[in-house]
Structure formats: structure tokens, C-alpha cells
Amino acid sequence: MNWGKGIVVSFIVFALFIGTLVTVCMRQEVSLVAPDYYKQELAYQKQIERRQNAGSLPMRPKIEFVNNKITVSYPDFKNIANGKLKLFRPSDARLDQSFIISSSTDSVQTFEINLPQRGMYKASLTWTMAGKEYFVEETIYL
């Protein structure tokens, strides 16, 4: 084999490698935190206000993971109009879960979770109380 054939074979092998690499990369799933992230970014000022409202509370809700259950502890549940707890995994959106927080005289609300995969999750709690919106986010390891 001479140099000309070796160079041509090298280019063909390289082109096949690049083609395979592009095909594999195109088939990878890209999981976004939220499918409508652009719209959420435009409304981020409201999110800043929710965080500030939660920061001004004398006692913030506490989110914990105990015995395959998520517990939310907050002494003012009776004053909550509505709320939502989102548990999401940044690396895989298929493992996300949502729970409704309701007004209650109990200071603890517990939610049963079934997670096929352990790891880092972000728990975000959004609620409305006395006409104001609040937001708390915590990172938890399951």
C-alpha cells in the first residue's frame, strides 16, 4: 500500500468516526429543568419577590426526607390559601414529582414518594398566604 491509499483510508475512517459521533450525540436526550424556561425567565422578578417575602417570615417552612416520605414542617399551615411542593431532579426530568400543600391545623404535612433512583433532588415550595406569594427551595439528598 502506498501513501496515497493510506491517506484516503485514514480520511474515510475519520469521516465514519465523525458520522458515528454525530449520530450518537443527536440521539442523546436533553432534559430541561422546565420546558417553558424562557417564559419563566421573563417572569423572574416575581420569583425574586417570592423569595424576599419568604425571607421576611419569622419562621420558614422546613423540608425533610424521612423514611421514604417528604415532610414539610410549618406552624402557619392554617393560614395558607394554596401551595405546591415540587421535587425535581436536575439530571432527569422523568423523576420529577409534585404535591399539593393545603390549609391545615397540623404543623406538618407528609407526602409518600416513590423514587426509583436515589440522589440529589431540589425541593421547591411555593405558597400563597394573606394575599402574598412565597417561595423556598432546598437541595435534599435521598
Radius of gyration of the chain (CA): 24
DSSP state of 59: S
Which class would CATH give 37-141?
Answer: mainly beta
Q: Give me 66's grid cell.
A: 424521612
Say whether 105 sits in a helix, a strand or coil.
Answer: coil
pLDDT digit string (tens) for the chain, length 142 residues: 688 899 999 999 999 999 999 999 999 877 766 777 778 777 788 889 999 999 998 888 999 888 888 889 888 888 888 899 999 888 888 888 899 998 888 888 889 888 778 888 999 999 998 889 999 999 988 7
The CA distances from residue 81 to 16, 43, 53, 103, 104, in Å, are 60, 22, 15, 6, 10
Residue carrying the nine cell digits 406538618:
108
The Cα 12–Cα 6 span in angstroms is: 10
Where do the domains of the chain lie? Answer: 1-30, 37-141
The CA distances from residue 114 to 11, 64, 96, 142, in Å, are 51, 15, 11, 11
